[in-house]
Amino acid sequence: MLPDGKLEVENAVRAVLRDVLGLSEARAAAFREGTPLFGALPELDSLAVAGVLTELEDRLGILIEDDEVDGEMLETFGALTEFAAAKALK
């Protein structure tokens, strides 16, 4: 089922980060809105970013254009969730 609410999107983003980066359940569960991502998580290099974006597309049924990808949307867990929610819930 595709997610239809903000919480579902947040959980999908959390699960994608956990699955792509190989994070423990506890580490992924500890992500809060202000948790820094790109530059703060050593696992999240540019190739891993490509995997995160593609898996988000698949799970949320969205398309992310390359010109929409910037440092800002990857800065924090909250920013990435906001970006994904804006796409998935419109």
Partner 1 sequence: MIDHYDWPGGREAMMRFGPAGGPVVVAALPLFEEANRTRAFMVTILRGLASRGIASALPDLPGQGESLLPTGAARLAAMRNAFAAVPGAYTIAIRSGALLDAGARKGRWHLAPQPGADLVRELERVRQAGEAEDFAGNIISPEFLVELVGAEPDPARVVRLESDARPADLTVPGAPQWRRAEPDNDLVLAALLADDIAAWIRACEG
The per-residue DSSP string of 35-69 comes to: -B-TTT-TT--HHHHHHHHHHHHHHHT----GGG-
Q: Which is nearer to partner 1, 55 or 82 (CB)?
A: 55
Q: How far apart are CA 22 and CA 49, in angstroms?
A: 13
Applying CB under 8 A, which of residues 6, 8, 35, 55 lies at the interface with partner 1? 55
Applying CB under 8 A, which of residues 5, 34, 36, 61 lies at the interface with partner 1? 61
Contact 7, 43 (CB under 8 A): no
Q: How far is the CB of 29 from partner 1 (least distance, A)?
A: 15
Applying CB under 8 A, which of residues 24, 26, 32, 46 lies at the interface with partner 1? 46
Name the token pair of 31: 């992500």
Contact positions vs partner 1 (CB under 8 A): 1-2, 12, 15, 18-22, 43, 45-51, 53-55, 58-59, 61, 66
